[in-house]
A and B are shown apart, each in its own frame.
Chain A
Amino acid sequence: MLLKVNSSPHLNQPLDTRGIMIRVAAALIPAVAASIYFFGLAAIRVIIICVSASILTEAVIMLLRKKKTTLGDCSALVTGLLLALILPPQTTGYAAIIGSVFAIAIGKQIFGGLGSNIFNPALIARAFLMAAYPKMLTTFASPRSVDAVSSATPLALRKFSHNFTPLWDLFTGKVSGSLGETSAICLIIGGAYLLIKKIADWRLSLSMLSTVTLIAFIAVKINPINGSVLFHLFSGGLLLGAFFMATDPVTTPATKKGRYIFGTGCGILIMIIRYFSGLPEGVMYSILFMNALTPSINRYTHPRPFGNKASGKGEK
């Protein structure tokens, strides 16, 4: 009789890293569908290129590092998918490939692979593309247009010409913008699935969205030109950021208190950028900035052990 001997516990819940990644990918299905509906072949092209380039890069790097392949955990798939969804529809194939390689190689593997990266790989790749191809990354095709007519995003319209896009269009997604960011309803469905299944922690999404709500609520009272609460919630990359980027386990705090701080920080930065900077949108930079602060947030938000009095707190 051959018996396995290992340390307790001898039970394990079935969810593993792969399961988390697959569920995140599944939660993105509505947003992917919306992007294909609104941007047609352009969307399919960018998504396929980003996903396959990401997976290929991951495979090649693991081969070079002489390590067992990590494709099974599906994290490269999710990174590629997320990157595609935050790129404009008419991103060239070349740029999409460079972005994907950057996301996996520089965004993740250079730090030691999954779990060791500091920044969200998809967001850092987009920031890189933004620097490399500023024109391409800020030109957005109109939704459901036959000949690629470009138009300004709702946030740019608000900022630069004080034009407000109808809320219903923002809600359904019939606006110009990055592939997966336009349809609020699809992102809410995917996000709700992640929160209900406890794949993503609600503290992150909720604190980020409620901070944005609060600031927008005050700002619109001061001056209607600042845009209504719903306008800010539904436009730009906020919902995608709040449900899929700010909830990335690797680059966000591991403590409960830390997650509130992270989400609130993101919300404040987003609104500062939206109101006061030269850019129309700030979700990407806000999350990247908070990613950089995550190790410090973790260090200063250690929970107090059960039964410890206040005096025992704050130890490193």
Chain B
Amino acid sequence: MRFSVGDEVSVRNDWPEKRGPAHIRTPHYVRGRKGRVVKELGAFPNPEDLAFARPADPRQLYHVTFPMRGLWPDPASNDEVLVELYEHWLEAP
């Protein structure tokens, strides 16, 4: 599904690298975590296929912020991490 700026999203808690060779651009530390879309970055060929020379469909890329306090056990601040994530890794929370 498409997301818009301001949408709350969850990152899929999926670990394709455990099922076999994979090229994943979704960092471990955001999987299963909640964030918010701050920008639509356009569509790019899916790197998970591109890396294996397979036909790579364009996927929407989003800039998603995550509050540090949702990522780490000792969250004192209001700091955040901004990550580029492809649409197929995001779902409505």
- Mutual binders A and B: no
